[in-house]
Amino acid sequence: MATQDPGRINLLQGTLDLLILRTLLFGPQHGQGVARAIQRQSEDVLLVDHGTLYPALQRLESKGWIEAEWGTSANNRRARFYKITPAGRKQLMQETGQWRKLATAIGRVLGPEGG
C-alpha cells in the first residue's frame, strides 16, 4: 500500500469514480495521467492508489460511462486513453450535485472550523 503521509487523504469509497469522470471532462487521458491530474488538482492532498485506479477504470468502462482506445502519449509512448461518454457526463452532473449537497450537509453538522 502507499505510504501514509499525514497531509494526504485516502479516497472515500465511491469518490474515485467521480474524480475520474471529472478529470476526463477536460479531454482524453491515460491511467497514469488521470492519477497525476487528480493529485495535481487536489494540490497533492488526494492520494490515488494506482492499484485501485485500474479496476475503477474498468468498472466505469463496463458501465458505459467512459470509452477506451490505444493511442500515443505526449512523449511518444503507447498508452490506453480514456474518454468520457455522454452517459458519463450525465452521471457526473448527477453525482456532482449529490456530492455538493452531502458536503454542505456534513459541513453544517460539523460546524465552523476550529469550533
> Footprint of another protein on this chain (CB under 8 A)?
1-2, 30-33, 35-36, 49-52, 54-55, 58-59, 61-62, 64, 67-68, 73, 75, 77-80
d(CA 32, CA 2): 15
Question: Least distance from C-beta 51 to another protein, angstroms?
Answer: 3
In whole angstroms, give the CA distance from residue 95 to residue 98.
5
The answer to whether the CB of 103 falls within 8 A of the CB of 96 is: no
Q: Which is nearer to another protein, 32 or 94 (CB)?
A: 32
Quote the longest CA-to-CA distance of the chain: 52
Nearer to another protein, 22 or 82 (CB): 82
Residue 26 or 54 with smaller CB distance to another protein: 54
- C-alpha cell recorded at residue 49: 492508489
**Least Å distance between CB 45 and another protein?**
16
We find the least distance from the C-beta atom of residue 6 to another protein, in angstroms, to be: 18
Element (H, E) at 54: helix 50-63
